[in-house]
Structure 1
């Protein structure tokens, strides 16, 4: 699944799978933002004939019975399903509900005798077929007695259809299990669900799916575990004039005007396709697919590749085999409305999902505890695929900002977790959902990038190819990949300090990462578990005592040196001694997953070098130095003043990555100090530093009339305007207000798409209700999803509390804010210093409703909890957070469970950090902004 939350995910149940049968009223599809009916949880009965009855639902006390365990027994193995689904795209006249009906026959083989059938089922009603039971069992093998069903019921907690038999199923024999069922085609964004939009004043309905990780069972009864791979023969019943899509190619239809099948197709709302918004994705999909065929040395394994943009989609994208589903913002591009960051997101998410066609779908991990390998791999190679599509962007470098630095912030907490969990520790759907986090995606990507680098890409891909070949159409565990990579190492004669298995397990089986300290006076190189709060208690055991086998790429006074491996707590490398004016810089291009610290003399040399000759240090490492320094300071390893000193050269810096790194770290200072007396001097200093960058882009763009040529330059132009306006540079604020007013006065938006997010935000922040209402009306009438997203974010920038409170209330109404966007809108409001406390009060007061309505398994809950609490830095806020956890223990937090503990830990650390650093920081900013006479 695509990140971001993006969010990208592996195939939910199997590799060849229904997983997304997207039925649409048209699929060049039709859209925008319009009315959705609230979810109705009433039971419905089948409407396609037959005797009906509401099946019994049983909830039992914990026991040792098979149906009270969350994992399926391994005695039944599915071979194939014959599945028919019939969604009703108009509401039932009696109940007013949208429903779907279906029937399924699954053929399975018995691997050991049993008198019990367990098959996953959730939120489905069943037709009573015969003898008062919910299913029918027959034998594939002639002459084999078929046991009768004695008792059948639905076990709601573990989500099973349970069938107890009056005799044993025989080992080695095959059986058919037939079920007939009804479900609600709700708007809950999970399982088989409903998406709505307006086109030419007419409401259109799409029936689509999101089944990962455990929601296939909401659409039809199935063995809903990744190792239970099977073949699916799918029949979709739909109205004339509508289009049906599924994973495989169409084999037959009663509709005469179906589109001709093509190898690559893009589907979306009809106006979006007509406007050419699918062209970019269509043009880039082919080259990216060809790249992965070459990279994997494996042909694309399906007869077609469909990609569809859905008006309502909770994740970023989902890699259903042969039919990838996306949010509109992740697939559709319009040069009049989409920024270069929108364009990059589309290229990287397409690459991420296409990577899964092999890694995740062709070969599927056996169980969810290895999710990190699936998502981490796709999150790594998405940059390689996007580079193939857009070689001029230099996008591969951006993994450092987008993944490595991003996940460092989470993995430096004592409440982090290892990449790979024990299989027995991941059982419940909520535990599975929790794994879809920054650790699985971004740490997974970071350590695999490190692995590819020290093996070399040639050896890495050699092992990857034999792995995919051996396990094609099957399942694997992460150590199977280590085995194949070791085979490639041996064949190539690559020298390593240990086996791939032993090296990589130090990064996979323990949480966190090291800070590597280099003493250039003695040559001693040491490592220590890096914690943002060094006083936090690490209770999680480590099989390696928090030591890693660390590959170190480094340079000395500008010259690249031979790589060095650190094993154990410390070692001496005489080559790393620096004499006189020599200096050492480690972790070149940030290919290693660790931070680097130096002795004071080397730090002094580097910070001096930044001020005088910063171009002697590679761009990526300039970004690294800033990020490492600020985080080492938060961990009390170096002084905060030393970290701040790394920003003094920025008035001369014109590259995007160092600026972005600095702004990401200074955001922490904003969060900690934008409610204190430090705020004013901090604003003065940052305004002084960014003004030269602002003027540079003013000149480069001929007074903002042109767009910079380079991809990174376009990003940094946005940074220049954003920070200049944020720090109160009057010229910048007037520019934003003028552009916005011209749009209001003429109803002709001339603001370049790259600049819209920051201009909208700053103009709304500096204005009142009229500007907010104008932006709201533009949001409601937007027909381009990326433009709507920019406006939705900017609306949260107002300084008017009453508008922010009203906006928060809108998130509870799907007519105002789509369900898929509700939690991120609350986070946008919490990012605003005026809105933070309002958002926190709102979430606390309505947690039960938010949790229920927006899905206990929603992947966005960790983002929500982190988003509304990240500014917390007082004892009062810490106590509120602990009380919130206690008050809602019964309701639960779903995928946000770990985020609650992380927020408590982060708040505790913030309180201590402010107490220790506030005065020094205030003095530093004041000193740096004193007038020079």
Structure 2
């Protein structure tokens, strides 16, 4: 696979402006693969060449402005678009994609408890290419309009409000302009607890076999969610920029949680199956608060390149602890931060792989090097630095 370099991303961002993705996914074609059709509207600011990224099992067809391109020109994960003229363009890509079993792209899971199957996406950092064709860099934001065909009896969740159109067909409301790595869908026979807050639909979701455990904690989870939502509105002034707020606790998740706009995904170990300590409940609450902070800082306002990921994560880390302290019953969260998170930062800082909280852009020349910065420095040390700045300068 070809990793994207910062120089390539800068060159592409200077050449094109991406407007809209219209994506259709068919999840009914088997256990190993699904069908993916994407139409991308974009503008070339000048004549030139660029490329789109895709990691298909089979690339069936590609057309640019109605003219067919040779699918065999796909080189690893790059499909060249040569001889672009200045002006508006539409790229259409029809492909078969593979389900993942390792949490990358479209992950598929069958619950051994009851045999029910669930799929969900994890697009970060560059795994959207495993789901549909894309100009995959954070500063090429666009509107995403997705539709899905799913097995009967499944519920579909997405970045926007999902509408059941019958016969397994679902449409998801188009997003505001967001980065490619933030697109998300989740489909399956979810158990859902739904409510409304501040005029928006809120929901929490898990696989059916965990329903009794989610129901037992639903009030607690939703109380934390509402309290953080209200406090962030007081702090940021900017209204929440999306049309709904769903939180899905998904199986076999390869991270702790992911801040997809309107559809935050969490590892479903946060649906507690037995008695747990209050510290564990505080940890879950902190993750809820952390991911919600990203709705503004990360999702609405997004880094241009991955050298700025520290501010995404350090800020959400700081805000998560501070907002829990201010708005919920968990008033001693900074003690937990000092015990658990700061030690993570200290450990990372003592290794030969240490790096500045805000790395020099030259230290993050490509997406592969960007992944190395997701550590205790970018999260905990950065949050410590922000907390110290607040102590010196005041919060505002």
> Per the shorter chain, which TM-score range?
0.7 to 0.9
Task: Say whether the 8 Å CA contact 1:307–1:325 is kept in structure 2.
Answer: yes
Shift, 1:257, TM fit: 12
Shift, 1:424, TM fit: 4.1
Are the structure 2 counterparts of residues 84 and 148 from structure 1 closer, same or farther at C-alpha, using a change threshold of 3 Å?
A: closer
Report what 2:121 is aligned to: 209
Determine whether 1:122 maps to 2:55.
Answer: yes
Choose which of 292, 303, 320 in structure 2 pairs with 1:365.
303
| Larger RCO of the pair (alpha carbons < 8 Å, separation 6+) | 2
Report what 1:908 is aligned to: none
Q: Aligned equivalents of 2:17 and 2:144: distance in 1?
A: 14
Are the structure 2 counterparts of residues 89 and 415 from structure 1 closer, same or farther at C-alpha, using a change threshold of 3 Å?
A: same
Q: Aligned equivalents of 2:72 and 2:120: distance in 1?
A: 29
SS in 1 for 2:74: strand
Report what 1:109 is aligned to: 43
Report what 1:49 is aligned to: none
Q: Aligned equivalents of 1:150 and 1:67: distance in 2?
A: 25
Shift, 1:197, TM fit: 1.0
Are the structure 2 counterparts of residues 190 and 236 from structure 1 closer, same or farther at C-alpha, using a change threshold of 3 Å?
A: same
Shift, 1:187, TM fit: 0.6
Report what 2:98 is aligned to: 184
Note the 1:719-868 alignment, pairs <5 A. Answer: none
Note the 1:401-800 alignment, pairs <5 A. Answer: 401-457=339-395, 459=396
Choose which of 40, 54, 63 in structure 2 pairs with 1:136.
63
Report what 1:786 is aligned to: none
Q: Aligned equivalents of 2:351 and 2:164: distance in 1?
A: 55
Choose which of 69, 85, 88 in structure 2 pairs with 1:169.
85
Report what 2:109 is aligned to: 195
Task: Say whether the 8 Å CA contact 1:78–1:230 is kept in structure 2.
Answer: yes
Are the structure 2 counterparts of residues 349 and 236 from structure 1 closer, same or farther at C-alpha, using a change threshold of 3 Å?
A: same
Determine whether 1:226 maps to 2:138.
Answer: yes
Q: Aligned equivalents of 1:88 and 1:319: distance in 2?
A: 27
Task: Say whether the 8 Å CA contact 1:277–1:333 is kept in structure 2.
Answer: no
Q: Aligned equivalents of 1:150 and 1:124: distance in 2?
A: 16
SS in 2 for 1:454: helix
Q: Aligned equivalents of 2:306 and 2:91: distance in 1?
A: 26
Are the structure 2 counterparts of residues 290 and 123 from structure 1 closer, same or farther at C-alpha, using a change threshold of 3 Å?
A: same
Task: Say whether the 8 Å CA contact 2:149–2:168 is kept in structure 1.
Answer: no
Q: Deviations for 1:434-482, whole angstroms, at most 9, x for unmatched residues?
A: 111111111111111111121112x2xxxxxxxxxxxxxxxxxxxxxxx
SS in 1 for 2:18: strand
Task: Say whether the 8 Å CA contact 2:345–2:380 is kept in structure 1.
Answer: yes
Shift, 1:252, TM fit: 5.1
Q: Deviations for 1:486-544, whole angstroms, at most 9, x for unmatched residues?
A: xxxxxxxxxxxxxxxxxxxxxxxxxxxxxxxxxxxxxxxxxxxxxxxxxxxxxxxxxxx
Are the structure 2 counterparts of residues 450 and 242 from structure 1 closer, same or farther at C-alpha, using a change threshold of 3 Å?
A: same
Query: Which structure's residues are more often helix, by fraction?
Result: 1
Determine whether 1:296 maps to 2:212.
Answer: no
User: If you compute each CA radius of gyration, which structure gives the higher value, 1 or 2?
Assistant: 1
Choose which of 66, 71, 74 in structure 2 pairs with 1:154.
74
Choose which of 60, 84, 90 in structure 1 pairs with 2:24.
84
Q: Aligned equivalents of 2:209 and 2:111: distance in 1?
A: 12
Q: Deviations for 1:205-228, whole angstroms, at most 9, x for unmatched residues?
A: 111111111111111110111101
Q: Deviations for 1:339-360, whole angstroms, at most 9, x for unmatched residues?
A: 2222111100000000101010
Choose which of 269, 273, 280 in structure 2 pairs with 1:329.
269
Shift, 1:229, TM fit: 0.7
**TM-score w.r.t. length of structure 1:** 0.37
Are the structure 2 counterparts of residues 391 and 282 from structure 1 closer, same or farther at C-alpha, using a change threshold of 3 Å?
A: closer
Are the structure 2 counterparts of residues 256 and 236 from structure 1 closer, same or farther at C-alpha, using a change threshold of 3 Å?
A: closer
Report what 1:572 is aligned to: none
Determine whether 1:346 maps to 2:284.
Answer: yes
Shift, 1:414, TM fit: 4.9
Are the structure 2 counterparts of residues 196 and 429 from structure 1 closer, same or farther at C-alpha, using a change threshold of 3 Å?
A: farther
Q: Aligned equivalents of 1:394 and 1:386: distance in 2?
A: 9
Report what 1:286 is aligned to: 226
Shift, 1:385, TM fit: 2.5
Task: Say whether the 8 Å CA contact 1:311–1:328 is kept in structure 2.
Answer: yes
Q: Deviations for 1:707-736, whole angstroms, at most 9, x for unmatched residues?
A: xxxxxxxxxxxxxxxxxxxxxxxxxxxxxx
- The gaps in structure 1 that reach 5 residues or longer are 1-58, 92-97, 130-134, 140-146, 460-933
Are the structure 2 counterparts of residues 333 and 316 from structure 1 closer, same or farther at C-alpha, using a change threshold of 3 Å?
A: same
Shift, 1:423, TM fit: 3.0
Aligned length: 366
Are the structure 2 counterparts of residues 430 and 123 from structure 1 closer, same or farther at C-alpha, using a change threshold of 3 Å?
A: farther
Choose which of 307, 312, 316 in structure 1 pairs with 2:252.
312
Shift, 1:429, TM fit: 3.2
Shift, 1:256, TM fit: 9.5
Q: Aligned equivalents of 1:449 and 1:439: distance in 2?
A: 14
Task: Say whether the 8 Å CA contact 1:266–1:278 is kept in structure 2.
Answer: no
Q: Deviations for 1:810-855, whole angstroms, at most 9, x for unmatched residues?
A: xxxxxxxxxxxxxxxxxxxxxxxxxxxxxxxxxxxxxxxxxxxxxx
Note the 1:233-244 alignment, pairs <5 A. Answer: 233-244=145-156
Q: Aligned equivalents of 2:82 and 2:68: distance in 1?
A: 9
Are the structure 2 counterparts of residues 180 and 277 from structure 1 closer, same or farther at C-alpha, using a change threshold of 3 Å?
A: farther
Shift, 1:369, TM fit: 0.5
SS in 2 for 1:155: coil
Q: Aligned equivalents of 1:277 and 1:428: distance in 2?
A: 45
Q: Deviations for 1:530-571, whole angstroms, at most 9, x for unmatched residues?
A: xxxxxxxxxxxxxxxxxxxxxxxxxxxxxxxxxxxxxxxxxx
Report what 1:920 is aligned to: none
- The gaps in structure 2 that reach 5 residues or longer are 171-191
SS in 2 for 1:391: coil
Are the structure 2 counterparts of residues 196 and 385 from structure 1 closer, same or farther at C-alpha, using a change threshold of 3 Å?
A: farther
Shift, 1:89, TM fit: 7.4
Are the structure 2 counterparts of residues 88 and 185 from structure 1 closer, same or farther at C-alpha, using a change threshold of 3 Å?
A: farther
Q: Deviations for 1:185-209, whole angstroms, at most 9, x for unmatched residues?
A: 131210112122133xx31211111
